[in-house]
Amino acid sequence: MENNPQEFLITNSIGSFAMGSYDRVPRRKYHGLWISRAINPERPEHLLVDVLEYVLNSNATKKSRYPLVNYNFGHGAGLEARSLISKFERLPKPTWTYQLGNGSSEKFIRRIEFVGEGIEVEYEWLGTKHPLELSLSPLFSLRDVHSLSKENLALDGTVRKTENQYEFQPYSDLSPIRMSVEGLKQAETPGTWYKNFFYEEEAARGYPAFEDAFSPIRFFVSIPPQSKIHLRFSLLAPEAQKLNKTPRKISQTPNHDEFRKDLSCALNQFVYRDSKRPHFESVIAGYPWFSSWARDTFICIPGLSLTSQDPQEALQILKDWAPLIESVLFNKLSPHDVNASGLDSPFLWGAALQFLVEQHPNPPKADDSTVLDLISTLDRWIVHIFQGENPLLSVTDFGLKCMPGNYATSWMDAIVDQSPVTPRHGYPIEINSLFLDCIDFVLRRNPDLKATKNRLFKNYLEKVKTNFAQSFWVSGRDFIGDRHDGVELDCALRPNLLWAASSHFELFSEAQRKSSLKLVTEELLTPFGLRTLSPLDSRYRGRCKGDQATRDQSYHQGTVWPWLIGKYTDALLKIWDKKQVETLVRPVLHSLKTHFYEGPCPGQISEIFDGNAPHAPRGAPAQAWSVAETLRTLWLLDR
């Protein structure tokens, strides 16, 4: 295996992760054996880059010393170690098989997995005659996940031995780290800095790309023939010791094909239990650089609920999130360790609730106390919005108005030079469709709704419906426009119209929705999802690459987002029969399936793809809603 940049990803129950390349060359600052959320869920700590391993002998008649891993120090990675890797296996845990010795058939196997909050490296020697002698030097980064480490005098390299374990506390504000290894013959504590690891992906994205790593100890171990040893790392902080280590259950029915089963397992990797809030579950938006986001969690909830076949877990997630959303929506108090921003978040919360109550294959009972409480919560939020208790939202006869500002209003949230790239102030179609659908849902489902409120909601829906069908219609090209400022319509063709085309409360006629979807299919649909802007628009950008500002300018200006295939399918199924829908959607699912198994991060789906062919994958290599909505789309077509 001389060059294979494909990536693996493993996570634990609190969103800590290990990620790297198949050939073990770190190409991102986010690659590493141990990135922990135990102490700070919002700002994970990148603790361990890798373990530098040397074979000291693999043949008793010959002395030899050679590495099992190559790094790039700015001049390209070597091939000596990579050429020894004969195979990489992603499942059930990342496993490298080495062919050791000059033409020898003797195999050496390396595996990694999480054990609670710690990471364990397993070494297995399949030789039959002599023990395998190794030196193992942990390479610690000890930094914020988004930063880079440099040699410094503040680091305390002292290693303390306690019984058969070693402890190391490099900085006073960092939890002590415990290390242990089996088969130990000798340990040295040289305290060595390894300088100038080069991360080529960071350089390509316009970021600093060189890092130093510190090794406090070198272990010399001996593995008997046909035996295993384990190298373990763990945190001594109390928070890390109390973590819930019970894996989340995934239910499958016999008719689920392998792709649906594998998507369920992939989605499970994003579910995390907050180390600061007992029993609070959420979704990591994407790996390796995103944290927990309200918006992403709510969009993922339908797919997540399908993995367990039980809506109760998803209902509990909505219940846990409700006070956080309410504090942001009306008290302007944002919790520091989760991202609950976005004026669409409360309405996406409502849309997730609507799915669980009305579309889930095993819906909760109508009198379920949790469901009734959540509907009452949504009702209360709507009333507060009508009463003007959020200064960024105003209910008018035209619709729900989002006030201007340099903030991110909806999922199209890129900001460059303090200005939104895709402005959503005024009356954005997706937020209005979600808001009105939430009102309609409360009218249908809240048995305790007072008569005066009932009339208020119904009258408002009818008034706005008439206005939308006229004001948001782009004559000539015949489709639903993207955003109105109260005076002028933004006539951009964007996938945001899918919320209006698929909502239970029908803002537009069937003829209008058909015409809109025809244009969406012709101009936005690609093999990997939907473009965010028509290529006929002068603002369209077909490549999403370069430095951060350049990428952000392209992020929602033509870039393809695979998660939109779910809303597209919802809208199609409202007006066409399933066979017609399948002819459009199945090819996309096939492309995403190929990408899932053979793409940059096998077992996951990328965040975005270029708008222009060949639609190169970009962004985060593993994105939660890409997986969740692909899974839900399969369910929509198969049910």
Helix (H) or strand (E) holding 51: strand 45-57
What whole-number percentage of the chain has pLDDT above 70?
A: 94
Strands (E), 261-340: 271-273, 281-283, 286-287
Before 288, cis peptide (omega within 30)? yes
Query: What are the tens digits of pLDDT across the range 117-141?
Result: 999 999 999 998 899 999 999 999 9
**What per-residue confidence (pLDDT) applies to 524?**
98
**What per-residue confidence (pLDDT) applies to 340?**
77
CATH classification of 7-241, choosing from 2.60.40, 3.40.5, 3.90.930, 2.70.98? 2.70.98
By residue count, the chain amounts to 639
**What per-residue confidence (pLDDT) applies to 58?**
54
Could you tell me if 482 and 497 are in contact, meaning their C-beta atoms sit under 8 angstroms apart? yes
**What per-residue confidence (pLDDT) applies to 61?**
46
**What per-residue confidence (pLDDT) applies to 335?**
53
Grouping H, G, I as helix, E, B as strand and the rest as coil, residue 385 is helix
Q: Model-level pTM? A: 0.95
Q: Which residues of the chain have pLDDT under 70?
A: 58-63, 101-105, 238-256, 278, 332-338
Q: What are phi and psi of 526, to 5 degrees?
A: -135, 175
Could you tell me if 44 and 15 are in contact, meaning their C-beta atoms sit under 8 angstroms apart? yes
Query: What are the tens digits of pLDDT across the range 515-528?
Result: 999 999 999 999 99
Name the token pair of 636: 């929509």
Query: What are the tens digits of pLDDT across the range 65-82?
Result: 899 999 999 999 989 899
Q: Which residue has the tokens 């080495």?
A: 98
Would you list the domain boundaries of the chain? 7-241, 524-639
Residue 103 backbone class (left: φ over 0; alpha: ψ -120 to 50; beta: rest): left
Could you tell me if 618 and 608 are in contact, meaning their C-beta atoms sit under 8 angstroms apart? yes
Grouping H, G, I as helix, E, B as strand and the rest as coil, residue 614 is coil
